[in-house]
Structure formats: structure tokens, C-alpha cells
Chains A and B, each alone.
Chain A
């Protein structure tokens, strides 16, 4: 548990030594985690390392078999789960989805959709959306109620690469504007939001945590993901050298549409990078 950040002021969620067991097996155990207002916490770890389980426990969706969870009273949560399987028999427009958990005015709905770049899809049926559009709609739904805590389980899945940058930007902006805490699960081990305050690296337990820079050089991280991963842990920096185009793509200072997070060396065999095209 080296590098664990000391107790913070203005905490909204604190998880102490929780463990979740299923069918006699511990999915996660001994997890400590704390989220404060205005803080962005990112969980990374391999598949099956218990990232989603930890988040679900923190939110009260899963009851832990050991440990304690504290949530600020009357905490307003906006949650984007990893998967939402809506039955096709349920008719639902994007606009109607926005008022799923509470009433909102038309202006609030339009503003939320505009923030995630799908203002034109308000009247579309949710089932007709692409994966990326549906993901954006779910994020809009989570942020429309101005939550105290925004929780996103792999928010960039199905979103193309330039959209990924825009979404990370948006998450940072929402934090700045509303002062909410953000709990993020990253699907990509190599890209962690620059504005992440704390990275927690999970592998059935907390193997290391701290600032992104500290985690990248920690021996636990290297042991878990291999030395090459440590070299390639790129941190997305929020530099104002690019523009966000209306269609969601990003244009950098030289006019190229791209977001090149790390170079692929001759021994590049990790799968995470392969789906990213380099413009």
C-alpha cells in the first residue's frame, strides 16, 4: 500500500479494507480507496482484477463480504456502468433517457446532450444509436443531475480515438465546473487522464496507488504489466495545442487529426494499442 494518499479533506466516499467473495473465491480483497470533492480517481488493472466489483461495492450495488464503506449523506451519484443491456422491446428516445432518474427541463436536457456532442440525437431511439453514441448518451444522463460523484466504468469504450480525447476533456471540465468527485475505470492501461489526481492499480488487491507519475515508476506496476508497460504509460496531457471540431474530432496545431499517445516499438505486442489508428 505504498504511496497511498493521506486522508483528504472533503471526502465523499471512503472504502476501507473491503473484500468481495463469490463462489468461495475472493474477487477483490483489502481494497482501500478514498474520493474527495474535485478529485479524479482512476482505477486501472488487468481483466478480472476487480475494478468493476470495487466500484459496485463503493456504490452499494454489491455488498462486500468484509470491510467498511462510507458515503457522504445524501450523496448524488451519476453512474455509467460498463454495460447497459436494455431490452429492444423498451421504446426509449434519448431525450426520455435523460429523465430516467429525475425530472429535468428541456433546456437542461439539450445542454447535457450538447456537452457530450450528441445534441442532434435527442429524438433518436436509443436502440438506433451506435455504441459510441449510446455511451455518450449514458454519460449525458449521468451528468445531467449535477452529481456529487460521477462514476464511469470504462467511459471511452466504443468511442473512437479522437472522441476519447474529447470525452476525457469533458470529464475534466465537468469536474472543474461542478466540483464533483470522479471515479473512473480505465480500459486502457497505457492512457490515463492527465488530470487524474490518484491512480489505483488493482489486481485482486491494491497493488499500488498514487499520482500517475508515481504509479508509472513503481515496481508493483512494472511487475504487473511488465517493464515495457511502464515505459509506455502515457499520460494524456491537457495542452491547448489542438481544437475540438464540431463533429467531435480533434485537430492539433499542425492540422493533423490525431492523438498519438505513444510510439510503437518493434516489440510492440500489446493489444491495447492495436485498435488505435494513427492518422
Chain B
């Protein structure tokens, strides 16, 4: 069954979507969309450095994503620039730096489109193992830290006063996000990872009454987007990654217009 590249693509996409649901929900709740984008963009630099030092790209991407988050935290603490200016600075610098570095490297031919938009149709069985192994790890950590993370999302002051460690929780969340970016990079590319984090979560918002519902619906929506997008890319011969994002957008549009009853959660 894993012999078909299309089957492997579906399995890979479903695995990624299951993780982006709850992780993306936290990104939406904590207003970290641009932060996620910045970490994803830094992945290019991670790939370039991994090639330079001949290590596996996933390790390079993970390390640089974590480093970017740490640099941001450092600059935020001491600087006078606002967070969104700093994110803009880091996001585009990391992207440009990575692209320049890749282009000057001798004897390296890089599929630039693959880096930017991913290639879900080129997923190998080994990639699947990485996605499901890494994905399970990220989801297990999320489940373990769910209560402190949610408490910190509602109010870091309450979380701190009542015995949680919101600062440490924030750090762990950042590491989990870096982990997801590392395993999803090959599938979705740096440009589309944030889309799969944000769009299914926002689509799930109107249908959800509790945080847990939203996380679950975001995963289901993401899975639906993967199936729909891959089918669309096959049928219309369109690029697969962007097709998945377009399908997610369609699901968002659908949940935005569907009428909710009086007893609906957002009433």
C-alpha cells in the first residue's frame, strides 16, 4: 500500500494535519501567527546550514528554528523595538540569508520550489516514519502540558500564581513548534506550514465551545483539507501543497457562512 506515492502523500498529510490542529489552535489563541511564520522562514537557513555542515536537514531546521525563537526572546527583552518589527526583521532576514547561502554553496543543487512550497508527492517511507514518530512525540508533549499551557493562555499571571511555570511552558511550546516545522518542512515548505497551522484552527473556531473541541475540529479540518487538496491536485493537475491550503481556505469559508442555531457555542 505504501508503494503508491499518492498513498504516501495522503498518509503524510494526514499525520501533519493531526499535529497542526492543536498546535495551530494555541498559535491562534496566543496571537503567534507571525511568530510561527518567522520560525518557519528560518527553516531555509536551517537547511542551508545543514547542507554546509553535512548534517541531516531536519536537525538543522530544528536547531535554527529554536535559535530564532531564542534570539527573538532576547531582542524583545532588551530592545525598544516592538515584537512585530522584530519578527519582520528576523523572518525576512532568515529567509534571505538562507536563500543566499544555498545559492553560493558549491556542488549543491537545491530544489528551491521544494523548499518554499514542499513536495508532498516525493514523500518516502522513511519520511513517513519521521512524521509519525515526531508527530506522536509532539502530540504526547502537548497532551501532557495541556492544562498548564491553557492556563497560561488564559492568563500567565493566574498560571504563575497558582503553581504553573508559564515561562517554561512557553519555551516548551516553542520547541514543539520547531519540531513540527522540522518534520513538516519537506511536505509543506516554509511558506505553507503557517497556513496549515492557522487556517484549520480559525475554521474550527466558530463551531467550537471549548478549547478541546477547537483543537479536535482543527485537526479534522486539516485532514479534510489534505484529502480534498490532494484530490484536487490530482484532478486539476495543480501543485499539491498550495492545493491543500486552498482546500483549507474553502473549509474556512464554509464554516464562516454556515448558520449556527440559537444554542450554538458563539451565541
Contact = CB atoms under 8 A, between A and B. Distances in A.
B205 A89 contact: yes
A151 B161 CA distance: 9
Given A92-B211, A100-B151, A101-B151, A59 B161 contact: yes
Given A100-B150, A125-B265, A60 B160 contact: yes
Nearest to B156: A61
B210 A100 contact: no
Contacts of A90: 29, 153-154, 211, 214
Interface string B251-267: 00000000000000111
A86 interface: yes
**Main SS of chain B's interface residues?**
helix
B157 A100 contact: no
Contacts of A101: 147, 151, 158-159, 162-164
- Interface bracket on B: 20 to 34
A78 interface: yes
A61 B163 CA distance: 10
A91 B155 contact: no
B205 A77 contact: no
B28 interface: yes
B209 interface: yes
- Interface bracket on A: 20 to 34
A60 B161 contact: yes
Interface in B2-40: 28-31
A76 B265 CA distance: 32
B233 interface: no
Nearest to A99: B147
Interface centre among B151, B160, B205 (most CB of A within 10 A): B160
- 5 closest cross-chain pairs (CB), A and B: A79-B161, A59-B161, A91-B208, A90-B29, A61-B160
Interface of A: 56, 59-61, 76-79, 81, 84-87, 89-93, 96-97, 100-102, 125, 128, 145, 151
20 contacts: A59-B157, A61-B160, A76-B162, A76-B163, A86-B154, A86-B155, A89-B202, A90-B153, A90-B154, A91-B211, A91-B265, A91-B266, A93-B265, A97-B154, A100-B147, A100-B150, A101-B151, A101-B162, A101-B163, A102-B147
Given A77-B161, A84-B154, A101-B163, 5 more contacts: A61-B157, A101-B162, A102-B147, A125-B265, A125-B266
